[in-house]
Chains A and B, each alone.
Chain A
Amino acid sequence: MIRFLLKGLLRDRSRSLLPFTTVVLGSMLTVIGFSWINGAISSMIESGARFSTGHVKVMSRAYAREADQAPNDLALAGSGSLLAELARDHPDLVWTPRIKFGGLIDIPDENGETRVQGPAAGLAVDLAPGSPERGLLNLDRAVVRGRLPEHPREILLSDGFATRLGIGPGATATFIGATMYGSLVVHNFVVSGTIRFGVTAMDRGAIVADIRDVRTALDMEDGTGEILGFFRDSIYRREQAAGVAAAFNRRHAADKDEFAPEMVSLHQQSSLAQTLDFATQIYSLLLLAFILVMSIVLWNAGLMSSLRRYGEFGIRLALGEDHGRLYRSLIAEGILIGLVGSIVGTALGLGVSYYLQEKGFNLGSMLRNASIIVTDVLRARVTPVSFVIGFVPGLAATFLGKAVSGIGIYRRQTSTLAKEFEA
């Protein structure tokens, strides 16, 4: 029967071309859309992970409860031994300590008096040679003026902030904040360079400093606010990250101290997880809407085809073919078109997706500012799902289209067929 249908479709292209083209286009767009959104979400995950959440993150339990405020008075103590433990137990991840801190940057005049001040949000990272942080934060590319810190007490300021303060590389900037114990800190730094993140919130007043300097300034000897973990291949795997976190927490479950370490995966860190779940829901809705629209188009094509094949169906019914068999053959014909169209559409979609995965789409000229949170080159990402996702709308839409348009077959009465032929 399949051979019979296939011959019919090939010989009478007017009945297969429009549905076939629709399915090819639909499947292709679905594959490209899925791969692109998959890539965009992956970019968001990677950017968010690199800047803030890691693929997993270790904090003290007390710190984790108030993590949004980065409370350094609740930070982890003894980070050296904890880092060694993490490296030993989870060698498939790269571990790096960070301290988030806030305060004021105060610029002195020639008499040492305050000339200008501004609120600052700081990030202390390991800037030593060989540290993964320069790559993770894309710092080399983010430098606008000057250079990265090479000596103790050197810091980077966001370029806009430095401009507002009227300073540049080489200037002294005094940080005013609080130590881990709440005492006032007045600590002098030298600005080695300025950076631009391309994120308004960060560019208002960001400091990036070496974690050793910040530990000294904030009286956090061997302390750290957070330890971030990244899979070595830079790809976030939700289940694996959750497994690593659960295993770590099980090992520390006996320690009831509120300053005992606790690990959370990227998805357990509220805002990003919500964003990703929201994006996935939106994508599912779009896919559903896409299938519905395609079904309506194919239904319409089916109706037109049915009108054109009115005589053929009548003869087949008159020859004794029952309604059900005719209806099923119509649906099988649709599935055949859907299958072939989906294969072709998926192949084309994968080709475009692979191109976008390799070359990406550069938003740098549109954003102008290099960014460490949102990458300037967005790329598609082909996954195993990309190979099958196109078959969902391709088959579902042709099936639905044929199923709805074919209902008319049951309205044909065998008893009136002779009259129809006479007419």
Chain B
Amino acid sequence: MTLPVRSRVTAMAAVLSAAGLAAALAQAPDGEAILRRVDENIGSDNKVTTSQMTIHARRGSRSVRSKSWIEGRTKSFTEYLDPPREKGTKMLKLDDQLWTYTPSSDRTILISGHMLRQPVMGSDLSYEDVMEDQRLVALYRADVIGEAKVGDRPCWVLELTSRREEVAYHRRKIWVDKEREVVLREERFAKSGKLLKTTEVQRVERIKDRWVSTRVVFKDALKEGQGTEFVLEAIEFNASIPDHLFTKASLR
């Protein structure tokens, strides 16, 4: 039996591309090594950031500005600056605990249990998402499953599988910029395989010898709306942050 010329060419191309992919994957660095470098790039320095979150919900869009003081991966203090209704609201994260303070009620509330799954300021990010403080490599096993381009950037495609049951997302798929080693796209899945959240990095900038994602769109796949656009307005690395900021007393 002989195949028509066109079919033979197609079959040969498929074999070659499969072989090429196999060869490329054979040359690909270890997934865990890539993930480790992603973790390192995200960094654990002290930093002070000012950012704006624009939430594109079904009823329209609204923006929330905030300033955050971050020490390592386990301590952060955020104060909301705008809009007026949210102004003065503060959040303190210490290890695995998260408190919020609202000036109108003068109450400090521990966010726990099912409240952790609630959206932060109505955005597509949950408190659980902002609580994630461990390195990805500590939470997930990583395998390189392919290569792809995000925009014009060549990326490694990694599949992350949780090492522990209590992790919020059982599986993740991330697209890591081969050169800059930042995540440009991400999909987060439940244990059932259902897509829960997506992330699209729209802008990456070089700031103080680091590649920093400065414009990111988060989308809760279970919600209607156009997602939440996060814009990093300013970032200061290795900032001096007074210790008292990371205490409950500083919330009031």
Contact = CB atoms under 8 A, between A and B. Distances in A.
Given A114-B109, A114-B110, A178 B104 contact: no
A106 B106 CA distance: 13
Contacts, number: 62
Given A178-B119, A184-B102, A258-B58, 17 more contacts: A73-B58, A74-B59, A112-B108, A114-B109, A174-B107, A174-B109, A181-B55, A181-B57, A182-B118, A182-B121, A182-B123, A184-B89, A184-B100, A184-B118, A184-B121, A186-B107, A188-B106
Contacts of A231: none
Contacts of A182: 55, 57, 118-119, 121-123
A183 B58 contact: no
Interface of B: 55, 57-59, 62, 85-86, 89, 100, 102, 104-110, 115, 118-123
Nearest to A185: B102
A169 interface: no
Contacts of B122: 73, 178-179, 181-183
Contacts of B123: 182
3 tightest CB-CB pairs across the interface, nearest first?
A182-B122, A186-B102, A181-B122
Nearest to A75: B59
Given A181-B62, A219-B85, A112 B106 contact: yes
A184 B123 CA distance: 11
Interface string A92-119: 0000000000001010100011100000
B86 A183 contact: yes
Q: Which of B55, B58, B107, B118 lies at the interface centre, i.e. has the most chain A CB atoms within 10 A of its CB?
A: B107
A186 B100 contact: yes
Interface in A14-34: none
Contacts of A114: 109-110
Contacts of B120: 184
A183 B107 contact: no
A62 interface: yes
Nearest to A112: B107
A215 interface: no
Contacts of A104: 115
A176 B109 CA distance: 9
Given A178-B122, A182-B119, A219-B85, A74 B105 contact: no
Contacts of B85: 183, 219
A187 interface: yes
Contacts of B104: 186-187
Given A183-B121, A184-B121, A106 B58 contact: no
A113 B106 CA distance: 11
A403 B58 CA distance: 69
B107 A73 contact: no
Contacts of A62: 58
